[in-house]
Amino acid sequence: MSESEQFKRRVDAYLLHLVEQESAQLLQVSSELAPLCEQLRGSLEQGKRLRAAFLYWGWRAAGQPDCDGVIRAAAAMELVHAAACTHDDIIDNSRVRHGMPTAHAAFADRILDSGQGRDRPVALAMMLGDLLMGFAGQVFATCGLPGAFIARTVPLWSALLRETVAGQFLEVLRTGYGVPQVAESLEVARYKTAKYTVERPLHLGATLGGGSEQLLASFTAYGLPLGEAFQLRDDLLGTFGDPDLTGKPNLDDLRDGKPTALMALTVALASEVDRQVLANAVGRPDLGEADAAQVRQLMERSGARRTVEDMITERLALAQRALETAPLPRGPYTALRDLAITSANRPL
């Protein structure tokens, strides 16, 4: 088994233990909380554990050894991600993630079967997301690393949450409002995804481990372009991806009219006639596969898809160059090099 597979199994095992522990306490409150416990497990069963891996290798890059405490600290990043996904699925009204019903969709199946109101599943999913975020802080604070190590990360936790909410808030404000702009789309990508996926986990790990300012600066130079490449790839997956492979629909972004860089470039590069096609199709909740296929063809024909691929390649190259000059031991360097490739080049 590779080192990355071993790491993932350790994080998975800890998260499963946490679910069992917290579910037992919830069920002591009331057996009616069983659906919450079931969805808590479902929210944490799947995932590549990228954010956990970046925190872990930030710690190792600071010269610190492997230990159970840093595995628990890394697992906290997966709880942040699960919370963000739960809330994001509500905002987008996404019904599927990782090939399984999202939280509000799963709760809807239970609630509607019992004849209760249609607004309750969203409320229940919101509470699950809040619970997951609360668990993240609890797990990180009690991970077992020295208290002085934990204390110096407090400003980073504040920054991570502020930036993630800011990016999501801007995306909601800009969806369906005006013509999407590439610069604005990349700004959302940076704050909604790039920072909390790559840069801030690396900073948290390095700061826990007492890493230098030079190391933190190197992680910014590596993390921001890689995080943007990750989101740009996600934009392509959200429109061109095979749902059987990605585990999520490829119509949601088009139905929501999300102002992704892919969409902004398509609008900028399309002819007047094609822009009218976009205006008539994108943002329609009832958008069907035939109209979506027409939009995808337009994205190909305009050169927008190719441009996004080029942007991913450019950002991956920037991240790799930053890695070459970073003050890293061999192990963290190799791990972060491999993580960059897998993050930016996920298959459609």
Does residue 229 surpass a pLDDT of 70? yes
pLDDT at position 43: 94
Q: How far apart are CA 110 and CA 253, in angstroms?
A: 27
Is residue 202 within 8 A of residue 223, CB to CB? The reply is yes
Q: Which pLDDT band holds residue 247 (cuts at 50, 70, 90)? A: confident
Q: Kindly list the domain boundaries of the chain, sorted by start residue.
A: 1-45+68-144, 150-348
CA-based nearest residue to 102, from 152, 43, 178? 43
Average pLDDT over residues 165-180: 87
Neighbours of 56 (CB within 10 A): 27
Amino acid at 319: A
Q: Which pLDDT band holds residue 346 (cuts at 50, 70, 90)? A: confident
pLDDT at position 100: 86
pLDDT digits 0-9 by tens, 1-47 = 688 899 999 999 999 999 999 999 999 999 999 999 999 999 999 88
- The model carries a pTM of 0.94
pLDDT at position 249: 87
Does residue 112 surpass a pLDDT of 70? no
Amino acid at 121: P
Share of the chain above pLDDT 70, in %: 97
- CATH 1.10.600.10 assigned to domain 150-348? The reply is yes
pLDDT at position 319: 97
Does residue 91 surpass a pLDDT of 60? yes
Q: Which residues contact 257 (CB under 8 A, 6 or more apart)?
A: 175, 176, 263, 282, 283
Q: Which pLDDT band holds residue 118 (cuts at 50, 70, 90)? A: low
- Local structure of 117: helix, strand or coil: coil
pLDDT digits 0-9 by tens, 42-75 = 999 988 999 999 999 999 999 999 999 999 999 9
Mean pLDDT of the chain: 93
CA-based nearest residue to 84, from 174, 193, 176? 193
Q: How far apart are CA 31 and CA 253, in angstroms?
A: 38
Q: What is the CATH number of domain 1-45+68-144?
A: 1.10.600.10
Average pLDDT over residues 258-265: 93
More confident residue, 272 or 347: 272
The angle formed by the CA atoms of residues 183, 337 and 150, to the nearest 5 degrees, is 80
Domains 1-45+68-144 and 150-348 share a fold: yes
